[in-house]
Structure 1
Amino acid sequence: MQNRKLGSQGLSVSAIGLGCMGMSDFYGSSEEKTNLAVLAAALEQGVTFWDTADMYGPWTNEELLGRFFRQHPGARDKVKLATKFANMRNAGGEFLGVNGRPDYVKSACDASLRRLGVEHIDLYYQHRVDPQVPIEETVGAMAELVAAGKVRYLGLSEASARTLRRASSVHPITALQSEYSLWSRSVEAEILPTCRELGIGFVAYSPLGRGFLTGAIRSRADLEASDWRLNNPRFAEENFQLNLQLVALVEQLAAARGCTPAQYALAWLLSQDQRIVAIPGTRSEQRIAENAGAAALVLDGAELERLDSALAGIEVHGSRYPKAAVSLLEGDTPELG
């Protein structure tokens, strides 16, 4: 597994990481014994950049990682651990809004440290930008966590280019985490160039289109009734079959390269920039090995050009989030003062 640098402050992580959300929430039922085995497999494969958040569960995903670290002495030293705050949920899972107030930043960090059972968080993100709180105030509080030794590096998720600039004026931002894949490329217009300009690394979540690009999901019936994806516009009945055109293209290209569709989609992502890393999620040891193998697959310039030409004729149908959540994407905040 190759490592890549995020930002210019010294953080180095595995090019393929692990998004842990689906082990505890949103994608149907899971089993703790299996999840712990997947974490062990990730460690063995060199997939050592792990991503969680306090809202996953809520709270239970951080607790899962905490149990793993207690059961595997020494594992924490091998893992670059990222978690997030700001999206608030109650014990029943109801979304309560976004909170970027300085006092909440500090209490949320302390709670995450307790659940994870660790002394520091390697990369601490604001999960969504609070539209009511100037980003300078939120990042100022996050910077105090760095000074206190509770956090090593800072990140934002789904922030606008303007917000990135304002945040960077307060404290170096090591990484932006936003959705990026063959079916979600909006960050290419302004966000990625801004990250390059400011020396900010990019962490791509849902790099396999929430599993769609793997080809394993052929109909809505393949998803459990509790699976959040059934409420995602791209998985809606009127869009699902149309979006399979993109899957067919990826499957065709992957077959020509002798790899799986997931590996091809991840290799495409890593080929876009050396400062990009991907955090596909999985609850399968087999998928961990498959995803890790994508780091060794290199797509040359000619192949990338052919792919772009083919993609130009394929439309992705449906927005990437339900309407209620769209306002929090590429978020901005009020002016300071």
Structure 2
Amino acid sequence: MNQVKLGSWGPLVSEICFGSLAISPLQGRVTEAQGVDVLKYALERGINWIDTAEIYDNYGQIAQAVKNYPQVRIISKSYAVTEQDLRKSLEKARSELNRDVLDFFLLHEQESALTLKGHSRAWEELLRAKEKGLVRWIGISTHAVDGVRAGALQPGLDVIHPIINYQGLGIIDGTLDDMLQALSFAAEIGVGIYAMKVFGGGHLSQDPQKAIDFIKKVPGIQAMALGMSSPDEVDYNLLLVSGQEVPQALREKVKHKPRKLYIADWCEGCGRCQEACPQNALHIEKTAVVDQEACVLCGYCGRVCPHFCLKIV
């Protein structure tokens, strides 16, 4: 597994980061035990860092998988706004991941300088946690061009996790070219960058090699988070990223099926899913209705549904 340096002052990590959303309760593709097995398999194959978030609700699953892999680095994220929120999020992660020191901790889904200003107290607490040695590297995740630009200028920021793919799917405030320019700016000042939604939430999975090759050619992007929910998917992605030929038998096993957000007929139209959707892909017409083209299958809507109406299938 190719090792890359994450930014000018970050650690050496594998080119692929294991995106654990795919094995989390948010997406429900596998059981907790199956997810642990897949993650262990990926670690055995050389992937040495894992992306998660407080909202994924899978710290215990990851802790089981990394028990015998103390060198594996973990990234988590939080929507914390206040100092108290951030401290609570950090302690939850440290406790449930069984880590005295967290490798990475990010503020989740920051959209602009205004969003970061609204989270300034949480950021200041994150800086203090870094100074105390509780966290090694800090940063943000974002679906926005302005989020990348503002994040790059944020005091003490080490890493940005942006949405990026060859069609620009999921970018909420600009074009693909705008995002590429923002990423170039961040990279020039040494920020570590690892890509999210490389396959556009499944919309680009019919030509996965094109999707991977695009990311690998973007200057400044050092690595990418890829969601995997089976050993075959791990092998498949490792071959894609390394540029090796994928055997036809493996292609058939992993054939990317189109997935979509399913909304059950008992939906009451409360609107919580609409509020939680970062892509504005949901609206209410008595019940929730999804724009499948805009949806990137993040699963955040299902997390807030009080009646379990939404699921990625």
Could you state the TM-score of these two structures normalised by the residue count of structure 2?
A: 0.69
Using the alignment, how far apart are the partners of 2:167 and 2:149 within structure 1? 26
Gap change, CA 1:132 and 1:287, over 3 Å in 2: closer
Using the alignment, how far apart are the partners of 1:263 and 1:106 within structure 2? 41
The reply to whether residue 144 of structure 1 matches residue 128 of structure 2 is yes
Aligned positions of 1:108-187 closer than 5 A? 108-129=89-110, 131=115, 133-158=117-142, 171-184=155-168, 186=175
User: For residue 105 of structure 1, what is the aligned residue in structure 2?
Assistant: 86
Using the alignment, how far apart are the partners of 1:165 and 1:264 within structure 2? 26
User: For residue 46 of structure 2, what is the aligned residue in structure 1?
Assistant: 46
Gapped regions of structure 2 (runs ≥ 5): 170-174, 245-276, 284-293, 295-313
Could you state the TM-score of these two structures normalised by the residue count of structure 1?
A: 0.64
Using the alignment, how far apart are the partners of 2:237 and 2:164 within structure 1? 16
SS where residue 184 of structure 1 aligns? coil
Q: Contact 1:17/1:277 (CA < 8 Å) preserved in 2?
A: yes
SS where residue 191 of structure 1 aligns? helix
After superposing on structure 2, the runs of 4+ consecutive aligned residues of structure 1 that deviate more than 6 Å are none
User: For residue 280 of structure 2, what is the aligned residue in structure 1?
Assistant: 322
Q: Contact 1:182/1:265 (CA < 8 Å) preserved in 2?
A: yes
SS where residue 106 of structure 2 aligns? strand
What displacement does 1:109 show?
A: 0.7
Give deviations 1:194-249, integer Å, cap 9, x for gaps: 2123221222111122233233xxxxxxxxxxxxxxxxxxxxxxxxxxxxxxxxxx
User: For residue 62 of structure 2, what is the aligned residue in structure 1?
Assistant: 65
SS where residue 280 of structure 1 aligns? strand
Aligned to 2:189, which of 175, 198, 201?
198
Using the alignment, how far apart are the partners of 2:90 and 2:176 within structure 1? 28
Q: Contact 2:161/2:195 (CA < 8 Å) preserved in 1?
A: yes
Gap change, CA 1:28 and 1:65, over 3 Å in 2: closer
Aligned positions of 1:6-17 closer than 5 A? 6-17=6-17
Gap change, CA 1:118 and 1:212, over 3 Å in 2: same
Q: Which amino acid aligns with 1:142?
A: L
Gap change, CA 1:136 and 1:188, over 3 Å in 2: farther
Q: Contact 1:125/1:154 (CA < 8 Å) preserved in 2?
A: yes
Aligned positions of 1:75-94 closer than 5 A? 75-77=69-71, 79-86=72-79
Using the alignment, how far apart are the partners of 1:163 and 1:212 within structure 2? 23
Gapped regions of structure 1 (runs ≥ 5): 87-98, 216-249, 251-261, 299-318, 327-337
Q: Contact 1:135/1:167 (CA < 8 Å) preserved in 2?
A: no
What displacement does 1:294 show?
A: 2.5
Report how many residues are paired.
242
Q: Contact 1:136/1:167 (CA < 8 Å) preserved in 2?
A: no
User: For residue 261 of structure 2, what is the aligned residue in structure 1?
Assistant: none
Gap change, CA 1:136 and 1:167, over 3 Å in 2: farther
User: For residue 291 of structure 1, what is the aligned residue in structure 2?
Assistant: 237
Q: Contact 2:7/2:158 (CA < 8 Å) preserved in 1?
A: yes
Point out which structure has higher relative CO (alpha carbons under 8 A, 6+ apart). 1
What displacement does 1:3 show?
A: 1.5
Percent same amino acid at aligned positions? 20
The reply to whether residue 31 of structure 1 matches residue 12 of structure 2 is no
